[in-house]
Structure 1
Amino acid sequence: MSRFVDRVVIHAAAGNGGNGCASVHREKFKPLGGPDGGNGGNGGDIVLVVDSGVHTLLDFHFRPHAHASNGKQGQGSNRDGAAGESLELKVPDGTVVLTEHGEMLADLTGNGTRFVAARGGRGGLGNAALASKARKAPGFALLGEPGEEVDLILELRSVADVGLVGFPSAGKSSLISVLSSARPKIAEYPFTTLVPNLGVVNAGGSTFTVADVPGLIPGASQGKGLGLDFLRHIERCSVLVHVIDCATFEPGRDPMSDLDALERELAQYTPALGGSLAERPRLVVLNKIDVPDARELAEMVRPDLEKRGLPVFAVSTASHEGLRELSYALAKIVEEDRATRPTLEASRIVLHPTAVDDAGFTVLDDPEEEGGFIIRGERPERWVRQTAFDNDEAVGYLGDRLARLGVEQVLAERGAKPGCPVTIGGVTFDWEPSTPAGIEMVMHQRGSDPRMERNTRVGAAERKAAKIARRTPSSDDPSPDEQEAEEQQ
């Protein structure tokens, strides 16, 4: 038996970018062939695509994890790595994408609509792309970035023009079965409908869809019964139809009290797509008038309902009485609503230029490290992820990039001291002011950086001097001559 699933949580992991290659061209009689390392391939994306052939989120219920393929590593001879293949996930029309905190990211309507749920990581540059006047033959390459990993909530909100609401056993399923070719389950007990049913209705030259949701009871907007789970399926409806059972024998039930209870539940429900269900056009269907007492009751309450400004239709799903008038009235309301909707424009890209005074990063005080700082910004954090810290030349290149961005200048203005901890993207450094970026570098061995060695020696000397200064003089301390000899060593 097939299952209807309209809300799932998926774990989307995009592909990682491939690492760049650090290679030097080698050929007979050409000892200085130059760098020829290729770039790494980009990781694959996770893409949600609306497919008209999909009607439920059942596949994600059993397979909530989605992984795209990784990009391949670059190779020598300027060969770039292959990009990872994007993974397309088919979703039904009307799917809403939410964050785990309930923030809406996308409302997917229309066959073929696409949304990138998780972006693949960028591939790292090879040393051929990193060659410059300062570094003619880089001995390092950039690492590929990890792909995005996100937890998303997918909710299906049916795309229907007309929504049927009413108490259990009011005849909603019977009504949709006679208005359209839908064949929902119909039985003589409450809550027969456990999942929303959709039907297509043809009335004259108009075609529209009708949604039948499980019966509402008082308190449905607070989670009682099944109403809260399926009220989302009437959020897009142009018109709501109150189906009132005029042949019920339950004590305390009558058409007016049923209508008031339904109106309260609609007013208390807040649609995620905005607006209010209580503001939608509504009409009332007095059902089961094939029963003599029900017909008499329908004629009795019709004037009171019309005083509220609600169109009223008395129908019988058994004898089909009044159905033709109802279908044409619904078609008219739907056509009027479609005429007032704004025309959808073609997709376009909106560019948001960076502000002139935007440095691209911020410097914050580290609450956990006294005298420490935290650097936040898209570019600094991305550069740290791309750096291989087992290669001194790669670390020196990172220092140059940060210096050109102005990070070192801001740290100096904030009073940073040599050796203070600075955290960027989860990696903590002992800050040492380096050679200003942009000057001509001295030739050095591939994979090394003279500044790294100098900073290591200077930092060690300063820490040793601070340690000696903190010590309390005692009879066991060495003499000044011995201290001088120790420092020279």
Structure 2
Amino acid sequence: MTTFVDRVELHVAAGNGGHGCASVHREKFKPLGGPDGGNGGRGGDVILVVDQAITTLLDYHHSPHRKATNGQPGAGDNRSGKDGQDLVLTVPDGTVILDKQGNVLADLVGQGTTFIAGQGGRGGLGNAALSSARRKAPGFALLGEPGEARDIVLELKTVADVALVGYPSAGKSSLISVLSAAKPKIADYPFTTLVPNLGVVTAGSTVYTIADVPGLIPGASQGRGLGLEFLRHVERCSVLVHVLDTATLESDRDPVSDLDTIEEELRQYGGLEDRPRIVVLNKVDIPDGQDLADMIRPDLEERGYQVFEVSAVARLGLKELSFALAGVIAEARAAKPAEEATRIVIRPKAVDDAGFTVTYDEAEDVYRVRGEKPERWVRQTDFSNDEAVGYLADRLNRLGVEDRLMKAGARAGDGVAIGSEENAVVFDWEPSMMAGAEMLGRRGEDHRLEAPRPAAQRRRDRDAERDDAQREFDEFDPF
């Protein structure tokens, strides 16, 4: 049964925003008390959080589909819908998040580090929030936005100070079992270790972690043996320790050639050239093993390696090795630059940035409008409601979409698509939509709510309408 998983594909879906409510307040002697539709609730986010007590991605291997809850719709009497509950997923320390194309989205290191994998949809505004002096009784509300849904890949890279590398059955598991409290599986056949083992070692005042990486063989960097499955687990280490078997029973192997082979695989994998190396000659409790260690040690020291002779079984040389590793790790930690304070980078938009683009798509024979606001407004529009469609037309015109279409060469009857190719709203464009809207009268205004107004009041109302229109364009849009 699989108990360790270090790579999974996760399908996450954030919650959808709740729809706004279109409602009119009614009570005795006041049948038209004005709009009182509440806003929809926000959809829940999908959040990944590092928990150092978690060591595997096994849970997501068995259930890779995760979804947050939706926001609730608004209701009458100005009641807003309840926000959806965020879905918090715990991951091991050292988890890397990638998209389907292999691009790194986040590298989660450190207890409590978070990443929003899926953003919940915004709730739609109710007609109470959409009302103004110009639009006193909207007969529509905005729809909630769908939550973000995407596929991501989680890869675990073990966070350890020391990585033990070497051929299968070189004694790495035995070594980590005596240096720390880790209890890996140990046997006298190759590939006993099928998952990385992690142990904590205390040497004087230095506490560090040590990882036993499953056995490597020639071609590991191309995927042979356990190869690429576990080479990623040495990327974060500060020190690489070559564990060499001085008592191997295979006639075609010797410790020096084993070292050269593993170094070649690490070189082909890349990114580990700057890590200090230490060589451990293991199994010197065996007479032939001690003789071979005495023979090859001068050659290894000539290459610049720091060499230790140990026996995991007889507990020989372990204290010297442990304190030597502590010294190298302390130097590596001291050499790391101090963490800088988080800086907030502000990138203001250019003064001539309209917030959207208009391009002609020859393949589809449409003018394509792309931009955060137009696409969001389209998603929030109930196209079964003529008043809501008219409100969308007003917003697009105030944003300048019609002027940009004219400059791009669009003519009456040409196709216009708002959104991406996969999910766009397409319609036949008719110029001067604002003029057409004015001919229909002021949208959302119920004249039954008004009494005859004197001339001075009408002038004040017209000024207020003009100010409301400018405010709605500049400031009112809360998103």
CA shift in 2, pair 1:440/1:135, >3 Å: farther
List per-residue Cα deviations over 1:249-301 (Å, max 9, x = no partner): 3133112211111111001114xxxxx11221111111111112221211221
Equivalent-residue separation in structure 2 for 1:374 and 1:439 (angstroms): 23
1-structure distance, mates of 2:336, 2:297 = 31
Q: Is the 8 A contact 1:18 1:81 kept in 2?
A: yes
Please report the TM-score for the alignment, with normalisation by the length of structure 1.
0.87
Distance in 1, matches of 2:147 and 2:428, equals 28
Aligned to 1:206: 206
Q: Residues 313 and 417 (structure 1 numbering): CA distance in 2 closer, same or farther, change over 3 Å?
A: same
SS in 2 for 1:298: helix
Q: How does 1:378-417 map to 2 (within 5 A)?
A: 378-417=372-411
SS in 1 for 2:324: helix
What pairs up with 1:7-86 in 2 under 5 angstroms? 7-86=7-86
Counterpart of 1:431?
A: 429
Amino acid paired to 1:297: L
After TM superposition, the structure 1 = structure 2 runs for residues 287-326 of structure 1, keeping only pairs within 5 Å, are 287-326=282-321
The whole-number CA distance in structure 1 between the counterparts of 2:439 and 2:109 is: 56
1:2 is displaced (CA, Å) by: 6.0
What secondary structure does 2:337 align onto? coil
CA contact 1:391–1:447 (8 Å) conserved in 2: no
More displaced stretch, 390-399 vs 116-125: 390-399
- After superposing the two structures, state which structure 1 stretch, 354-363 or 222-231, moved more: 354-363
Change in Cα spacing, 1:9 to 1:437, as seen in structure 2 (3 Å) is farther
* Cross-structure match for 1:273: none
**Deviating more after overlay: 30-39 vs 207-216:** 30-39
Distance (Å, rounded) in 1 between the aligned partners of 2:308 and 2:57: 36
Q: Decide whether aligned partners of structure 1 residues 181 and 57 sit closer, same or farther in structure 2, where only a CA change above 3 A counts.
A: same
Pairing 1:144-159 to 2, within 5 Å after superposition: 144-159=144-159
Alignment of 1:83-482 (within 5 A): 83-270=83-270, 276-345=271-340, 349-370=344-365, 372-425=366-419, 426-436=424-434, 443=441
The separation in 2 between residues aligned to 1:348 and 1:398, in whole angstroms, is: 38
Q: What's the RMSD between the two structures over aligned residues?
A: 1.9
Q: Secondary structure at the match of 2:280?
A: strand
Which has the larger displacement, 171-180 or 357-366? 357-366
Are the counterparts in 1 of residues 310 and 316 from structure 2 also a CA contact under 8 Å? yes
Q: Distance in 2 between matches of 1:225 and 1:199?
A: 24
Distance (Å, rounded) in 1 between the aligned partners of 2:108 and 2:191: 30
Question: Which moved further from structure 2: 189-198 or 21-30?
Answer: 21-30
Deviations 1:394-440 (A, max 9, x none): 11111111112211101001110111100012110110113448997
SS in 2 for 1:330: helix
In 1, Cα distance between equivalents of 2:325 and 2:343: 34
AA aligned to 2:401 is V
Percent identical: 67
**3-state SS, counterpart of residue 333 of structure 1:** helix
Relative distance call for 1:355 and 1:446 in structure 2 (3 A) is closer
Deviation of 1:94 (Å): 1.1
Deviation per residue, 1:70-105 (Å, 9 max, x gap):
000011111111000011111111111111111111
8 Å Cα contact 1:394-1:447 kept in structure 2 = no
**SS at the partner of 2:427?**
strand
CA distance in 2, matches of 1:109, 1:346: 17
Partner SS for 1:158: coil
Equivalent residue for 2:475? none
Which amino acid is 2:186 matched to? I
Amino acid of the residue matched to residue 426 of structure 2?
A: T
State the alpha-carbon separation in 1 of the partners of residues 436 and 335 from structure 2. Answer: 60
| 8 A contact 1:134–1:440 mirrored in 2 | no
Residues 1:257 and 1:315: Cα distance change in structure 2 (over 3 Å): same
Structure 2: gaps spanning 5 or more residues: 447-479
User: How many correspondences in the alignment?
Assistant: 442
1:240 match: secondary structure? strand
Secondary structure, counterpart of 1:338 in structure 2: helix
Query: How far apart, in 2, do the equivalents of 1:301 and 1:437 lie?
Result: 91
Report the alpha carbon displacement of residue 442 of structure 1 after superposing the two structures with TM.
6.0
Structure 2 contact 15–121 (Cα < 8 Å) conserved: yes
State how far apart, in whole Å, the 2-side matches of 1:391 and 1:282 are.
Answer: 70
2:416–2:429 Cα contact (<8 Å) kept: yes
Inter-CA distance 374–37: structure 2 relative to 1 (3 Å threshold): same
SS at 2:273 equivalent: helix
